[in-house]
Amino acid sequence: MGSDLVLGRDGLARPAWAASDPLLREYYDHEWGMPVRDERGLFERLSLEAFQSGLSWQTILRKREGFRRAFRNFRPEVVCRFAADDVERLMNDSSIVRNKLKIGATIQNARATIELRADGGLAELIWSYQPETTPAPRTLAEIPTVSAESRALARELRSRGFRFVGPTTMYALMEAVGVVDTHLVGSWRRGSSGVWSGESASRHFPPDRD
C-alpha cells in the first residue's frame, strides 16, 4: 500500500485526507467520484466548487446544508430569479461563505444553466468532456490538477456565460462527479464509479460509520 494511503479500522485503504475527519471520510466513501448526471446535482457541485476556490473543501462540506437552504436546493429555475434583495440576504447568512462575487456568479450560472437547456443541457455539456482514459495515480503528488479537457470545458462554459469556472476548478468538478477517476491505486474506492470499465471496483462497501 502506498505511503499516501491509510488503512482504516474497517480494513479499507483511503488517502490521508479522507482517513481521519469523519465528514471527509463519509464524503469520500459515499459520494466523491460517483457519477452525477442530473442538471440540479451538477449545478450544485459546480456552485460549491466555485465557492471552494481559495478555501478548504472541508469548510464547504460543513456549510453544505446551509448552502442548500440559502440557494433553495440549487434549483436553477429558482436561483436564476434571485435579485438584489436575495444577494443582501445571502451576504447576511452566516451559514454560507459570504462572498459577493461568488454569490453573483452562482446566480449568473443558474441563468446560464437555464439557457443551456435549449442546447442539450448542463449535464450533456460537462460529460462531453470525459477523456478517453483516466489517470492512475499511486501518490497524491501524481494526481493532476488540470487537464486538456478541463481547460476546454472551462473555455466552453465561459463562452456560455458561466463564471468562476477556471480549468483547475473544472478539473476538481470532473473528479467529484466521476468524469475522471483520480482515486489512488490501492484505495478501496478505485474503480467504484462504474464509469471506467477497465478498472476493478471493490465489492466491500463500508458501514456508514466506524
Confirm whether 57 is a catalytic residue.
Answer: yes
Query: Choosing from 17, 26, 27, 142, which is the catalytic residue?
Result: 27
Query: Choosing from 44, 49, 149, 175, which is the catalytic residue?
Result: 49
Confirm whether 65 is a catalytic residue.
Answer: no
Amino acid occupying residue 45:
R
Cα dihedral value 189, 150, 23, 62, nearest 10: -170
C-alpha grid cell, residue 177: 462527479
Could you tell me which of 53, 15, 21 has the C-alpha nearest to residue 209?
21
d(CA 14, CA 12): 7
List Cβ neighbours of 58 (8 Å cut-off, separation of 6 or more). Answer: 21, 23, 24
d(CA 49, CA 56): 10
Write out the catalytic residue numbers: 27, 49, 57
